[in-house]
Amino acid sequence: PDGSYVQTNKGLSGDPALVAGAMHAMQKQLTLLAADALDGVAREDRNISGLTFGVDEKTLWHLSEELDLFRQKVKDILSKVENYDRVYRLNLHLFPLSKAKEGKDENQG
């Protein structure tokens, strides 16, 4: 009645095939918020880190599968929270900083 948001589910998710544009815009905005947190959130209240590495295609697919499993494990842990006192966002970013080397068969592992 007062215009406030009231959470009705513990988590929110969407089918990217159905809401691709909205999901893209939301992910972009949340990524920008993560960048702002580097300067705007005290170090003890955030955990932002990363790795830069060389990888082959086979290992990249394996890493992507492990990230999917990790995200599911986090969802399982969070589904058990009864009374939360804050809202956080966890972004997992995995993206190329280069193209594959020329002459390398993309299907080799």
Sequence ranges of the domains in the chain: 20-42+52-78
Residue 45 binned pLDDT confidence (cut-offs 50, 70, 90)? very high
| CA atoms in the 13 A half-sphere facing the CB of 34 | 16
Residue 85 has pLDDT above 80, yes or no: yes
- Are 14 and 22 in contact by the 8 Å Cβ rule? The answer is yes
**Alpha carbon distance 71, 7 (integer Å):** 21
- Are 5 and 87 in contact by the 8 Å Cβ rule? The answer is no
The whole-chain average pLDDT of the chain stands at 85
Least confident segment among 12-16, 34-38, 79-83, 85-89: 12-16
**Alpha carbon distance 69, 21 (integer Å):** 25
